[in-house]
Amino acid sequence: MSEPAITPELVAKHNLTSDEYQKVLEILGRVPTYTELGIFSVMWSEHCSYKNTRPVLKTFPTKGAGILVGAGEENAGIIDVGDGVAIAFKIESHNHPSAVEPFQGAATGVGGIIRDIFTMGARPVAALNSLRFGELSNPEVRRLFSGVVDGIAHYGNCFGIPTIAGEVCFDKSYEGNPLVNAFALGVLRHEQITRGAAHGIGNPVFYVGPATGRDGLAGAAFASQDLTDESAEQQRGAVQVGDPFMEKLVCEACLELLATGVVAGMQDMGAAGLTCSTCETAARAGTGIEIELDKVPQRAPNMTSYEIMLSESQERMLIVVHKGHEEAVKRIFDKWDLPWAEIGVVTDTGRMVVRHGGKVVVDVPAKKLADEAPIYFRESKEAAYMADVRAFRLDGVADTKDAPGDLKRLLANHTVASKNWVYRQYDHMVRDGSVVCPGSDAAVIRIKGDSLPVMSAALAEKVGDRPVPEKFVAFTVDCNGGYVYLDPYEGGKAAITEACRNLACTGALPLGSTDNLNFGNPHNPEIFWQLKESVRGLAEGCRAFDAPVTGGNVSLYNQRGALGSIDPTPTVAVVGLIAKAEHITTQWFKAEGDAIILLGAPVDTADPLQGLGGSACLKTVHGLKTGLPPRVDLEAAKVLHTTLIGLIREGVVKSAHDCSDGGLAVAIAESCFSNQVAKDTFRFLGASIDLTAAIAGTAPRLDALLFGETQNRVVISVAASDAGRVVKQAGILGVPAVVIGKVGGDTLSVKTPMGGFTSPVAELHDAWWNSIARAMA
């Protein structure tokens, strides 16, 4: 098949600017082949190169005492958790594919992030996800939502990894462009860390896994342009097709091969497929690589070099093996009944050379392709809508006249409501490491000896019979996109702060974070301003909580035609460590008669909107999405978190739940009924609340007191005999604390100077538990 002529129109079709194409000509010293043009197109896309965001990403804190593999070094970051054990984790997006083909888009997003973990030498042990959709009143949104959840469940359940945590939010801004961010975490010993580098001149290069097809062609490039109805239809072929059973086999075979000690480097074929895996491994090692496409397993006839190099067919890996040990690859992959092929060799040329049909079709300097994409410093300016946001006041917004009714409405809000319709489709118990399952502030898994990959003979001899102490790892994911839209800087701070607060409520200190920056078109100065400001807030928060960024993903161009851009959504996942099993804490009340204490100020009286700006209450009750969101005092937040963890370690805290969406009343209600003791069986514990003493000397609005989202607040329960000591100790440490009630009965009773109410807990639970299921029925 003859290749098309390289014309300005063809270059533009590959999303390369004239300046970028000129740089290609300078690098090659000639006109590129059609395949080379495609390769530069995908490798210099935003998805692979971060050409629009690299300067901003450099502002993140990425160093820390426990970091073994840091941001940008490899496929996933790795952090030490003690006793020679480490965790690898990362989050990535699959937004555009999920908008086009929700089932396969979401499924292959899970598959891709799992490969990022085991390519590091770690055994994947847990997954979570962060999802954003339009409003469920829209039938198309319900179709996308159902398809995405089905895809995540299918891949995770079949692979055998517990999907143990996550978040789902609904807002009209995501109607045309849902967000699907997938996270995975794995465990390994320090000595088992594997690098994605083509080391060793003369070492053979193996392709392992299923054959290459035409699915997923140029998926990275597709993810780096605006989504339109036309492009969505044209790019269905850019959505990969996943096979979780195949990936499980590939994972086990790769881990077994790593234990033989014959692997010099390993990289998954994710975005940009064979292209990315070859040029990146060579660039990292400072070597060259030469491959022969005739040797690549192919499941479609007459595939061109362009198609083979740019295909993103799933479950494939590139492995560099120490010369002379080729038989180990063949033996192990034959054992697992998996395809393999020796397709190339590591060279000393520094070039990626590709042959096909006896001809050289690609000859490119590997490092210039992988690491020297053009970098842009985009213009940014404050969004015009911010003037109205700052000017908004509560004048003319009526205070609540029906507090119990408004509480029910908030609990039934699909962003606030229980996500059981989602997580009941996931297996969150497989591998028997799950300790705190979906339904509390953060998930907790137990790392035990059999969680770790099998050791090589040499490592086993070195380690001996030394047991692996149990480790308890907590993790969560957070972002309030509405906050970020209304104030990107404060919204960025709020995202990392809430994630760390969720960890604190579980008893965990943060170890590190990984982020997924989801934004619109960076060529729009207002969009880029949102990105820069939110990253500034995120970075400040990561420094404050000592949660360095170990890697992540940038997903831009999340907008669709007249529907416009998504709310800026810098999703952040944070991983922490719990010192002892007895420190693991959950959000639900534990016993009748326990005292309920509020840690933190009930209302930020210095905030003219009293915590109602950008709140779920303002949006749900009044239909307004405006006003500056609650401010985040990072120093106060850090003191709150350390105080809470200290109280948990003393053994006095029975439950802890952070106040976030929906405010204090929602947090208390969720503490009353979120204890699921068996399938469809709950233990309800009511509460009698009196907020009179908590607001003494102030006069907040009732809706602000009950539903405002003032930051840095946690509701805890303790034995009545411990209440006085806990309040005193918190006060000494600088955390406002007050007893606001006690646990007991079957109603939630709330008393304030401005009025009160009593609601049956069962009714509140019904609104919260069944809201999404009713919308999806």
Contact 207, 312 (CB under 8 A): no
Q: Is the dihedral of CA 485, 486, 492, 496 positive or negative?
A: negative
Q: What is the per-residue DSSP string for 191-221?
A: GG-------STT-EEEEESSPB-STTTTHHH
Please provide residue 64's backbone torsions phi and psi, each rounded to the nearest 5 degrees.
-170, 155
Tokens of 450: 């059999």
Contact 207, 277 (CB under 8 A): no
**CA atoms of 129 and 164, how far apart (whole Å):** 9
Tokens of 163: 């999907």
Q: Which listed residue (47, 96, 414, 657) is catalytic? A: 47
Contact 626, 614 (CB under 8 A): yes
Amino acid at 53: T
Q: Residue 324, class by beta-carbon neighbours within 10 Å (0-12 exposed, 13-18 middle, 19+ buried)? A: exposed
**CA atoms of 124 and 296, how far apart (whole Å):** 27
Name the helix (H) or strand (E) containing 307.
helix 305-310
Q: How many CA atoms lie within 13 A of 699 on its CB side?
A: 0
**CA atoms of 170 and 165, how far apart (whole Å):** 17
**CA atoms of 492 and 479, how far apart (whole Å):** 8
- Cα of first residue to Cα of last residue in the chain, in angstroms, is 51
Amino acid at 364: V
Contact 90, 282 (CB under 8 A): no
Q: Residue 65, class by beta-carbon neighbours within 10 Å (0-12 exposed, 13-18 middle, 19+ buried)? A: exposed
Task: Provide the H-helix boundaries in 507-609.
Answer: 525-544
Q: Within 10 A of 548 (CB to CB), how many other CB atoms are there?
A: 24
Secondary structure string (H, E, C) spanning 683-717: CCCCEEEECCHHHCCCCCCHHHHHHCCCCCCEEEE
Place of tokens 């000896």: 449
Strand segments (E) across 30-143:
67-69, 77-82, 85-93, 123-133
**CA atoms of 360 and 374, how far apart (whole Å):** 26
Please provide residue 281's backbone torsions phi and psi, each rounded to the nearest 5 degrees.
-65, -40
Q: Within its chain, how far is the Cα of 484 from the centroid?
A: 17
**CA atoms of 81 and 89, how far apart (whole Å):** 13
Angle at which helices 761-776 and 403-412 pack, to 10 degrees?
Answer: 40
Per-state percent for the chain, helix, strand, coil, to nearest 5:
40, 25, 35
Strand segments (E) across 426-488:
434-436, 443-447, 471-478
| 622 is annotated as an active-site residue | no
Tokens of 754: 């401005």
SS3 of residue 562 by DSSP = helix
Q: Residue 136, class by beta-carbon neighbours within 10 Å (0-12 exposed, 13-18 middle, 19+ buried)? A: middle
Tokens of 309: 């190099």
Q: Is the dihedral of CA 70, 73, 77, 81 positive or negative?
A: negative
Contact 475, 185 (CB under 8 A): yes
Q: Which listed residue (94, 322, 428, 657) is catalytic? A: 94
Question: Do the strands 77-82 and 67-69 form a parallel or antiparallel pair, or are they unpaired?
Answer: antiparallel
Tell me how far CA of residue 31 lies from CA of 5, 41, 252, in angstroms. Answer: 10, 14, 43
Mind telling me the catalytic residues?
A: 47, 94
